[in-house]
Chain A
Amino acid sequence: MTAFLTIIIVLFIAVAIWQMVKIFDLAQAGSNESAVATDKDNKINGYLMMGFLAFIYIITIVSFWYLGDLPLMSNSASAHGPELDNLMIISMVIIFIVQTFTQFLLHYFAYKYKGEKGKKALFYADNNTLEAIWTFIPVVVLAGLIIYGLFTWNSIMNIDESEDPLVVELYAQQFNWKARYAGEDNVLGMANVRLIDIDKANILGLDESDPNAQDDIITTELHLPVDRPVLFKMRSQDVLHSAYMPHFRAQMNCVPGMVTQFGFTPTVTTAEMRQNPDIVDKVKHINALRAENKEAIEERGQELIYEFDYLLLCNKICGKSHYNMQMKIVVETQEEYDAWLKEQKTFENSLIKEDLKSY
């Protein structure tokens, strides 16, 4: 319905444009004004330049006002998150200062020096000092950002295995995720998609003869104990996917034929995050919006009431249902985690045994 309305509106606009075009055409045919800008044009467009500068500032403010809670820059839930957020905020501040300033200069000059008949421009072709200044300033600012950025990048990507991280495999396939826990030995069993045996429910292609594989645990939800470093090993069985965990400031592609990795330490449990005032507000806001859209949501068969959860999203185009490839992440206390893990079947026990199959 809304879509239909839009089309009508667009059609109206088209007609309006057409009318306007005709009016302008007639106006021009009558006068012998040339097709080159006159002083009057310079003046009008000069003022419009200032108007446009205002528009840029306004759209910036409005965007911040309505969309400025920026969940990717606040309330991170991982140990390296605050550092990244800091770097992001510093970069954003620099960007906004430069943006405000240069847009001002550009539009203000366009307005200030709008052409007039008889005026002559300044013949000013070069100035090496100026060139040096505006080469040097970006060099210094960027050098600072690069150094800060590289330190952050290295500390995130160099995973310290001596801290005994929990090893978890994230396994991607069109269009869902699986998690594989390394079990008691904290060593993932060997696996290759060539070993997949659907009949025996060996869905991730684990090497059935590998002792390390026997205690592995395959799940469809990702549970993580809080404050323990996690080392993710990513695999994909078909096409590229990307394991994107925005709340933890974490992302890594899953590449068929290769194991990629990413590590972080979750610091805030799901339960705690649900209590966070910002998140409470956000959830309230979302639920108010959902109440307005009740019908559409129920038609889709979704729960009407939204409750906050961490998510793993697929963030690399992977085919038709790319838009719905997600897995819930639960961060909980060690005890809760242990209790949950105990309920899951080990690989050994989840296999359908030959003798059972041939009744």
Chain B
Amino acid sequence: MSAHADTHAHDDHGHHHHKETFVTKYIFSQDHKMIAKQYLITGTIMGVIGVLMSMMFRMQIAWPEEPNVLFEALLGKWAPDGVMDADIYLALVTIHGTIMVFFVLTAGLSGTFSNLLIPLQIGARDMASGFLNMVSYWLFFLSSVVMIISLFVEAGPAAAGWTIYPPLSALPMAQGGSGMGMTLWLVSMAIFIASSLLGSLNYIVTVINLRTKGMSMTRLPLTIWAFFVTAIIGVVSFPVLLSAALLLIMDRSFGTSFFLSDIFIQGEVLHYQGGSPVLFEHLFWFLGHPEVYIVILPAMGLVSEIMASNSRKPIFGYRAMIMSILAIAFLSTIVWGHHMFISGMNPFLGSVFTFTTLLIAIPSAVKAFNWITTIWKGNIQMNPAMLFSIGFVSTFITGGLTGIILGDSALDINVHDTYFVVAHFHLVMGISALYGMFAGIYHWFPKMFGRMLNKNLGYIHFWVTAICAYGVFFPMHFIGMAGLPRRYYTNSNFPLFDDLANANVVITVFALVGGVFQLVYLYNFFVSIFYGKRTTQNPWRSTTLEWTAPIKHIHGNWEGEIPHVHRWAYDYSKPGHDDDFVPQHIPLKEGEEELQH
């Protein structure tokens, strides 16, 4: 099988002597490294928009209905006299959630690093299909454009929450945003799903078929395992969301009743009969829950790799890590019901989902302990990527632990849809995955751009972000435990919650400072692309194959033959070697044992 991969890669290389134009190199590129950069830049732009939105709605929460020049400038007619409108509040929350989950942390994270690392780390000349890969990116780009356009629709963008539960999302008379705005949201997501499916299929085929000689599955770096399994989860679950979206489109535009029944709104009875919104919830969360693992698994892969490399130690429990990725992937498809304990679903089902949900805590705990043991007795190099990786483990633990409460159907009765949930999922998936993404960027920037990011700016970026992330989301648990529902435009109609107002101001200040400090990162990123220090071949002294490829990007990744692999990816500080790392392509010494457990 590896032999086949090798020959294929060889004649592939032979074709690459045509001349490149600007368009084929930078725009309609089929080279995985360029596509990775395109994903990253597009994801970054979407991220800026998403964070700006969160800063705006946080200001509204802290200083409800107060005029704000920023709103006036950015929201225009949606902020008459600078006072944010209640409809646009919900729209901002909705689009913020959508952009962050799908555009930044699915496409931006997975798209960037799967594309960059899969061929380079398994020793392939490119993805299995460069053309499909290009199509996948451009579909993502198109879906981003449609999502942005939806912000400018007359009646407002989609505002039914990122979960777009019908009937709210199905009926334009229920909410302004459920008109043209929701149509564009659905169109954008349908394109997005197509893009994601093409990408995932490509990753799966590439990992299965194009590994270089000697790269067995149990020698793969954990990054590849994570991307591979993520792609499989995506292929299994995204089509279900697509069908939910299509059925919703039918209900909206063609009068079917999949999700709607017995509705009286604005003085009239609608014709819908026999459908059920609960069905939509099932379909949505059948993707929605795996989606959070689609977001977090790649981050876990990146962090595992970076922690091993920077601790100068093998990742602890390589096999257990793979097993837990597989366990998480499997379990993630049978826990969706924990979002629906009080949806009207049969309580017995609630018990089943409580059981499966708490099961999934076990592989997650194993992973956390393995990371902690990985840094134990290490020789830790505090590069910015490493800081973000440690930060990842920290927020993953803090956020993950509260999952024990939310996954318990009895306890969820009381905290469901409160700020407790917002705190939980931001820490465990939002911030953690974002840290994973930053870690990956700091670590592989040299591989992407041939230059280094400024480390001191990286330190400032990490520490301020770390403090602000806890400052925003830690107190939010307590606000939730006081019973404050989420998606409230203002809490001022509930004197009951008046004693939470000050905490909300503090949270907002942390959010604003944290948001503004991302400028440090943006500055570092964009300036370093052009003016950063030039990188050396293997700046972090890592073992994986990508660091054997030339700094300058060439089609086919390696001049001449692709290196063969002789050992696993984690021979750091192995006794019997002078250097504290032994790259994967170095043959075993005579008498040296390969660690194969």
Interface residues of A (CB under 8 A from B): 1-4, 6-7, 10, 13-14, 17-18, 20-21, 24-25, 27-28, 34-37, 41-42, 44-46, 48-49, 52, 55-56, 59-60, 63-64, 66-73, 84, 87-88, 91-92, 94-95, 98-99, 102-103, 105-107, 109-110, 113-116, 119-127, 130-131, 134-135, 138-139, 142, 145-146, 149-150, 152-154, 156-158, 173-174, 192-194, 196, 198, 205, 234, 237-240, 242, 244, 246, 249-253, 255-258, 260, 262, 282, 285-286, 289-290, 296, 300, 302, 306, 308, 311, 313-324, 326
Contact = CB atoms under 8 A, between A and B. Distances in A.
B474 interface: yes
B410 A120 contact: no
B490 interface: yes
Contacts of A239: 166-168, 171, 174, 265
B142 interface: no
Contact of A48 (B262, B273, B463, B520): B463
B426 to A, nearest CB: 15
Given A4-B68, A322-B488, A113 B377 contact: yes
B485 A244 contact: yes
A67 B482 contact: yes
A123 B405 contact: no
Contacts of A316: 165, 417
B492 A91 contact: no
16 contacts: A20-B460, A42-B380, A67-B482, A70-B482, A92-B405, A103-B398, A125-B314, A127-B316, A138-B365, A154-B347, A238-B265, A244-B485, A252-B344, A282-B499, A302-B495, A317-B161
A192 B378 contact: no
Interface string B259-283: 0111111010100011111100000
Interface in B545-597: 570, 572-575, 580, 595, 597
Nearest to B411: A88
Contacts of B269: 193-194, 196
Given A66-B502, A115-B380, A320-B90, 10 more contacts: A3-B68, A4-B68, A36-B381, A36-B539, A130-B369, A146-B355, A251-B416, A315-B417, A315-B485, A317-B160
B328 interface: no
A215 B68 CA distance: 52
B413 A317 contact: no
Contacts, number: 439
Interface in B488-522: 488-496, 498-503, 505, 508-509, 512-513, 516-517, 519-520
A127 B485 CA distance: 45
A253 B269 CA distance: 21
B119 interface: no
A324 B208 CA distance: 54
A131 B378 contact: no
A120 B311 CA distance: 10
Interface string B337-372: 000001110010011001100110110011011111
A138 B394 CA distance: 18
B239 interface: no
Nearest to A1: B66
A66 B503 contact: yes
Contacts of B207: none
B128 interface: no
Contacts of A68: 478
Contacts of B533: 34-35
A106 B574 contact: no
A45 B458 CA distance: 12
A60 B342 CA distance: 30
B317 interface: yes
A145 B358 contact: yes
Nearest to B368: A102
B540 interface: yes
A63 B572 contact: no
Contacts of A252: 342, 344
